[in-house]
Structure 1
Amino acid sequence: MVLLKTVVAQASFIAALMFYLGAIYTSEYFGYFHLSFYSLDFSFAELVLQSLQLLKYQFLVAAVLILIVVAAGPQLSRLLSWSSRRAHTRPAASTPLAWLSTAITAAGLLLLIFWSEIQPYAWTAPLTIAAGLLLGQSRNVRGNPPDGLRRRAVVVFASGVFLFWALTQATQQFGEEDAKAHAADVVDWTSVVVLSSKPLSLPPPGVQEEKLPRENLLLPYRYTGLRLLLERHGRYYVVPADWKAKTDAVYVIQESNDLWIALRPGTQPAS
């Protein structure tokens, strides 16, 4: 029963963390397209899945490195203690591992000072500090038994705060980078063709409006040159094929009886 409660608690924490990171990523991503995250009505499950966008090379390398540093701490402590016993000497009051922990933490603080200079990878600063603090909590890192529970709890809490900060900063960076990469190839997005019973406020030259010559058509106005950014609950968020992030708007087309919307392949590269 205790094991089940522990598993449920850990699963709930992981799900909540993934939801938070997914919300941060989605907000940053669609914010680049001038869309409010709250207006898109993403569900809890959708935001949890969005957090998987963080599985990138830089993030995975950083995560592996910090795991190696933390996991190697106890092993290095035992190795140093074994070497001291072999030499018939008492463990030093401050082992090389303690110096390493201090050096890593100091390096993180130095990176923090140069926060603006190391953009967009400033999240490595709190990550480095967290790694140094966690390494300093390894058993016998200073040649002595572990510190009191209260002191260790404070240090672990501080490490968690720095890790949380690093995750937030990295998520924001990845969201913006992915949005910029997506916006660089607007012409390749899914093409949208709209037929309407009346003229729409979609300005040229990016959008082409055509009045079909046949009479008695229910939907005589045709709009082309549009690309689909997102479809949510019958709302189509579209942009012109020549869309520019800094100057152009995103248009929202709501499904209705006065509209017919078709989705077609975007411009494909020549084979």
Structure 2
Amino acid sequence: MAWITLLLIASAFWTANSFAAAYGLGRALDDADSLPGRPEVILYTKVPLRDLPAGASGTKLAPSPGSELRYRYQGLRLLVQANNRLFLVPSKWTSPGGRTLVVSYDSTVRLELVPH
């Protein structure tokens, strides 16, 4: 009897895990498909970002009084924001070989959304 209970519990966990994986994959594909309709992100940072994904570009800004933000990045779209982090992808992001840029969302960055 104990073995049957153990088997039923293990089956329930396996089923829940399989469902969660399939649901997560479906949500990820939906998010990727909706990227072209999302606003473009212009990101201003205090420090330079390294290893920009292909399609994104950066510009060093001239110093201006009252602003510590020295770098401007464009050609990005906001994939998701979670736990004070921005997950940004290039405007023309593709899943094979596509990269995601993760930036802490704090006082060292400013974000502008530009309608598409």
Report the TM-score when normalising by structure 1: 0.35
Indicate conservation of the 8 Å contact 2:59/2:71, yes or no.
yes
Tell me if the contact between 2:40 and 2:115 (Cα under 8 Å) persists in the aligned partners: yes
Which residue of 2 is the match for residue 191 of structure 1? Answer: 40
Say whether 1:178 aligns with 2:10: no
Q: Deviations over 1:211-230 (max 9, x none)?
A: 55xx5424343211211223
Q: Going by fraction, where is strand more abundant, 1 or 2?
A: 2
Change (3 A) 1:239 1:266: farther
Match of 2:97 among 247, 258, 265: 247
Q: Give the residue type in structure 1 aligned to 2:78.
A: L
Establish whether residue 200 from structure 1 lines up as the match of residue 25 from structure 2: no
Q: What SS does structure 1 have at the residue aligned with 2:94?
A: coil
8 A Cα contact 1:190 1:263, kept in partner: no
Aligned length: 113
CA 1:160–1:245 in structure 2 vs 1: closer, same or farther (change >3 Å)?
same
Question: Are the structure 2 counterparts of residues 158 and 247 from structure 1 closer, same or farther at C-alpha, using a change threshold of 3 Å?
Answer: same
**Counting helix residues as a fraction of each chain, which structure ranks higher?**
1
For residues 214-259 of structure 1, the C-alpha deviation after alignment (integer angstroms, 9 at most, x for no partner) is: x5424343211211223344332211111222212211223465x4
Q: Shift in Å at residue 175 of structure 1?
A: 1.1
Structure 1 unaligned runs (5+)?
1-149
CA contact 2:43–2:112 (8 Å) conserved in 1: no
Deviation for aligned residue 1:208: 2.9
Equivalent residue, structure 1, for 2:87: 237
Matched, 1:165 2:14: yes
TM-score for both structures, normalised by structure 2: 0.69
Q: Which digits, 9 at most, give the CA deviation of each residue in 1:71-94, with x for residues without a partner?
A: xxxxxxxxxxxxxxxxxxxxxxxx
Q: Is there any run of 5+ residues in structure 2 with no aligned partner, and where? A: none
Distance 2:56 2:12 in 1: 46
State the distance in 1 between where 2:33 and 2:7 align: 39
Tell me the alpha carbon deviations over residues 54-82 of structure 1, each in whole angstroms, 9 at most, x when there is no partner. xxxxxxxxxxxxxxxxxxxxxxxxxxxxx
Higher radius of gyration, 1 or 2: 1
Contact residue 87 and residue 103 of structure 2 kept, 8 A? yes
Aligned to 1:223: 73
Q: Name the aligned partner's letter for residue 254 of structure 1.
A: S
